[in-house]
Structure 1
Amino acid sequence: MSRIALILVCLALASPALAQQRLQVVTTTTDLRSLTEAVGGNRVAVTSLVPPNFDAEEYQPRPQDVLRLKDARLVVRVGLDYDLWLDRLLAQTGRPEIDRGGPAYVDASFAIAALELRGMSVGPGDGHAHGSGNPHYWLDPGNAEIVTGTIVEALARIDPAGASVYEANRAAFVAKLASKLAGWQARLAPLKAFPLVAYHNSWPYFARRFRLDFAGFIETKPGVPPSPSHLAGIIEMMRARGVRFVVREPHEPDRDVAFVASKAGATVVTLAASVGALPNAVDYISLFDANVDALTKASAAR
């Protein structure tokens, strides 16, 4: 056997052992998985409970999710009432260390300045729980600096030997994100003059960061389909304000979006609100690349 072949065999035999040595981290979403991987590097193995292109607010946990949590060294959630279904799973594991307040539990919304804070009761037919503030904070790339800082602190707490690696990984990621941000802002600057409409209220953090104007939403409330009268009001507003673009996410129903767009003479733009929702949104940074590309292409075509 040649020396190269011997090295390849040794690497193949070592891979399972290396994988087992990695810290098993479970996140609720693909976005948190991507951010944890950016910080953890090859010291972590990260699993997202919600698959790509699923609505995490409507997610129905599966039996295998409990098994994943039983093996987790760290659990990272979105918080702000976005993934309330996680609490039921955590209760089933019998592991207080990964439950709320435990040393292996991370609420990534910690230190995030939440938007749209208002009291809201949620009952049958009331849709999603946005009462603790709009939970889509990861769609402001500036918030990734806060989230990754929270993740670094948690990883270093359970793996002190890797603390310097986690800090270095985060510094490199934040620097790369900062270098991309200026380009994204420049490309989206021409859209500041054009109001948009979206199906679901996922976009206030994205809009604040890039100075975009979301003038209305097709859903009556988050998670509540529109009534005919609401659709009529949206169309009237779009015509009055000259709305040119209607934003939908890939998992959202197309019928109402296509209807209001056709009646108001607007273009439908499909954006990814999470990693994996579009084929080219494969990680946190490419999520914004994909959305900026979609918006700028739609604007150029008008």
Structure 2
Amino acid sequence: MRFALIAAWLACATLSVGATSGFAQERIQVVTTTTDLRSITEAVGGERVAVVSLVPPNMDAEDYQPKPQDVLRLKNASMLVRVGLDYDLWADRLLIQAAKPEISRGGAGYVDASFGIAVLELRGMSVGSGDGHAHGSGNPHYWLDPKNAEIITGTILEVLARIDPAGAASYEANRTAFLARLQAKLTEWEAKLAPLKGMPIVAYHNNWPYFARRFRLDFVDFIETKPGVPPSPAHLAAIVRTMQARNVRIVVREPHEPERDIQFVAGKAAAQVVVLAASVGALPRAADYISLFDVNVEALTVAASQ
């Protein structure tokens, strides 16, 4: 009987210690608008953070319709990380509904990851015709240049250290290790894509200027002239003429983009369609930020070798 009592006391003591330890290690709740920012935030935050993204991995963030549970997620969060540059404007409505100043603009836990980024296609408040993007603040797909992760992670680190000073050293070490891995991969990616330098490519949507600049690729035209508006027959015919004149052999599409028009121009110009992921999770093997580039680089190099 005495042994049974001792065993019961030890079990209770263990549970008590575990509960205390779990409380001491409670993770910082972070909400990101996209899966890309979730992956990058997890790389910096490590085990001290619990990160959830609002936009599912197989959906274009520009077309996302917020859900009621998104407001609750923001209410429970200590930090928000967003793309900015008018890409996730719907997040502003959620922040108003959540009514949590700490993660709203100017709050200690608010992160606009575009801060400090050298923005491409910046036109002030005007939008060029036929550019495929309705963003006066510039093209928002800056995460597709892996070098921009240096700036993004620096901004995230600053805010994490501000709201959790005890974890500052850990966040700094995590960021340093992540950027070292990324730099090694960048050297590998640049070598693999070197044979594609200057090769003309057509894409469905204008998501790729940062990716193209980093790896010296040449996206010569885009099938979608305005977001959400199907291309006209005249525009498709012009695309085919461009492809034939420039000897375009690769047409890029994302998994969620419509296939009909892509297949049409590819067939007319004897080009092959290459599916790339513009965000983490858009393809099964693009499970995190680094593997996102692994998948895209592999797909392009295989296509170029055929």
Q: Tell me the equivalent position of 2:201.
A: 196
Which residue among 187, 205, 210 is the counterpart of 2:210? 205
C-alpha displacement at 1:18, in angstroms?
A: 5.9
Given the alignment of the two structures, is residue 139 of structure 1 paired with residue 144 of structure 2, yes or no? yes
C-alpha displacement at 1:120, in angstroms?
A: 4.9
Given the alignment of the two structures, is residue 25 of structure 1 paired with residue 27 of structure 2, yes or no? no
Contact 2:113 2:155 in 1 (8 A): yes
The DSSP-based 3-state class of the residue aligned with 2:30 is: strand
Contact 2:44 2:156 in 1 (8 A): yes
C-alpha displacement at 1:102, in angstroms?
A: 1.3
Given the alignment of the two structures, is residue 265 of structure 1 paired with residue 270 of structure 2, yes or no? yes
1:33-68 per-position Cα deviation (integer Å, ceiling 9, x unaligned): 000000000000000000111100110000000000
The DSSP-based 3-state class of the residue aligned with 1:205 is: helix
Structure 2 unaligned residues grouped into runs of 5+ = 1-10
Given the alignment of the two structures, is residue 114 of structure 1 paired with residue 119 of structure 2, yes or no? yes
Contact 1:248 1:257 in 2 (8 A): yes
Residue type of the alignment partner of 1:58: D
Q: Tell me the equivalent position of 2:72.
A: 67
Given the alignment of the two structures, is residue 156 of structure 1 paired with residue 161 of structure 2, yes or no? yes
Distance 1:19 1:49, change over 3 A: farther
Q: Tell me the equivalent position of 2:183.
A: 178
- Separation in 2, partners of 1:278, 1:104: 30
Given the alignment of the two structures, is residue 79 of structure 1 paired with residue 93 of structure 2, yes or no? no
Which residue among 245, 248, 254 is the counterpart of 1:249? 254
Contact 1:189 1:210 in 2 (8 A): yes
- Separation in 2, partners of 1:129, 1:193: 26
Distance 1:83 1:259, change over 3 A: same
Distance 1:60 1:237, change over 3 A: same
| Farther-moved stretch of structure 1 (217-226 vs 56-65) | 217-226
Q: Tell me the equivalent position of 1:275.
A: 280
Q: Give the TM-score, by structure 2 length.
A: 0.91
**Cα RMSD over matched residues?**
2.4
Contact 2:132 2:205 in 1 (8 A): no
Q: Tell me the equivalent position of 1:45.
A: 50
The DSSP-based 3-state class of the residue aligned with 2:50 is: strand
Structure 1 unaligned residues grouped into runs of 5+ = 1-5
Q: Tell me the equivalent position of 1:215.
A: 220
Aligned residues: 293
C-alpha displacement at 1:127, in angstroms?
A: 7.8
Distance 1:220 1:200, change over 3 A: same
Residue type of the alignment partner of 2:66: P
The DSSP-based 3-state class of the residue aligned with 1:216 is: strand
Contact 2:132 2:222 in 1 (8 A): no
Q: Tell me the equivalent position of 1:3.
A: none
Contact 1:37 1:44 in 2 (8 A): yes
- Separation in 2, partners of 1:104, 1:41: 17
Residue type of the alignment partner of 1:181: L
- Separation in 2, partners of 1:170, 1:127: 34
Contact 2:58 2:282 in 1 (8 A): yes
- Separation in 1, partners of 2:57, 2:198: 32
- Separation in 2, partners of 1:111, 1:57: 22
The DSSP-based 3-state class of the residue aligned with 2:87 is: coil
| Farther-moved stretch of structure 1 (274-283 vs 127-136) | 127-136
Q: Give the TM-score, by structure 1 length.
A: 0.92
- Separation in 2, partners of 1:95, 1:131: 28
- Separation in 1, partners of 2:136, 2:201: 24
Residue type of the alignment partner of 2:32: T
- Separation in 1, partners of 2:270, 2:75: 52
C-alpha displacement at 1:103, in angstroms?
A: 1.2
Between the aligned residues of both structures, percent identity stands at 74
Residue type of the alignment partner of 1:88: R
- Separation in 2, partners of 1:64, 1:78: 20
- Separation in 1, partners of 2:293, 2:22: 35
